Amino acid sequence: MSDVSEATYHERTYGTETIGYGDRPAIVVVDFQTAFTEEKYPLGGAPLIDRAVDNAARLLDVARRCEVPVATCYTAYKSLEDMPYWKVRAVREDLIHGHPCTELDSRIYDPAYDVKMCKTGASIFFQTPIVPFLVKQKVDTVILVGCVTSGCIRASVIDSFQFGYRTIVPEDGVGDHDERPHNDNLRDVGRRYADITDTDSVIEWIEAWRGRNAP
């Protein structure tokens, strides 16, 4: 297989356009549950995910203050019978309703504000109420944070794109178990489906948006 460079992709016009923000944003939080955010569990303890939690918490504080809609999800199943064929043993053993691994991280989830939903696929858009929620809120821009970048974040980015949303991903607000798949997947979806930015830039935009739209 030939090594196609970034310059070659650019020459073929990948990533040459910026999507930009629309008029009505929402924050969509994917799988910041204790399975991934607490070191004591098999899937927890990844530095990039820890960093993402810290940055997402900052972003969510601003979003709630600015009255931006927030939807958050966790992954869980009733049993192995209703679970897809996951190749990750820790998912099969731990992501069962009632297990502590399915609880949302308290640094991220505000039960008084956020809309919570359970997902059973890779994407938050698969067989969940996320689209009716976004439609009801008149959202045109989805800002995605969460984990894991190479799995459920990538899947959610693609579905957000396919449902017609402007999709924004702060690189430091999503995380993976390893830096290489994190970077590779963000670079790839950034060529095609989403704008890749950083948490501080998203916060700055939300505060400016609120200033323009304050009652």
| DSSP conformation letters of 133-164 | HHHHTT--EEEEEEE-IIIIIHHHHHHHHHTT
Give the model's pLDDT for residue 215.
74
Give the model's pLDDT for residue 1.
38
2 domain-assigned = no
Strand ranges in 76-203 using DSSP code E only, listed in sequence order: 115-119, 141-147, 166-170, 174-175, 195-197
118 domain-assigned = yes
From the list 54, 62, 63, the residue with the least C-alpha distance to 139 is 63
Instruction: List 104's β-bridge partners, or say none.
Output: 33
Residue 118: give the domain boundaries: 22-213
119 domain-assigned = yes
Query: Any idea which residues carry the catalytic annotation?
Result: 152
206 domain-assigned = yes
From the list 173, 129, 165, the residue with the least C-alpha distance to 31 is 173
Give the model's pLDDT for residue 57.
98
Give the model's pLDDT for residue 6.
79
Give the model's pLDDT for residue 210.
94
Give the model's pLDDT for residue 214.
79
Number of domains in the chain: 1
- Spell out the residues 6+ positions from residue 203 whose beta carbon is closer than 8 angstroms to its own: 58, 59, 62
10 domain-assigned = no
CATH number at residue 74: 3.40.50.850
Amino acid at 133: F
Does an H or E element contain 72, and which? strand 70-75
Give the global pTM: 0.95
152 domain-assigned = yes
Between the alpha carbon of residue 147 and those of residues 6, 50, 80, the distances in Å are: 25, 10, 22
158 domain-assigned = yes
Gap between the Cα atoms of 181 and 194, Å rounded:
17
pLDDT in tens, the chain (215 residues): 345 677 889 899 998 899 999 999 999 999 999 999 999 999 999 999 999 999 999 999 999 999 999 999 999 999 999 999 999 999 999 999 999 999 999 999 999 999 999 999 999 999 999 999 999 999 999 999 999 999 999 999 999 999 999 999 999 999 999 999 999 999 999 999 999 999 999 999 999 999 998 77
7 domain-assigned = no
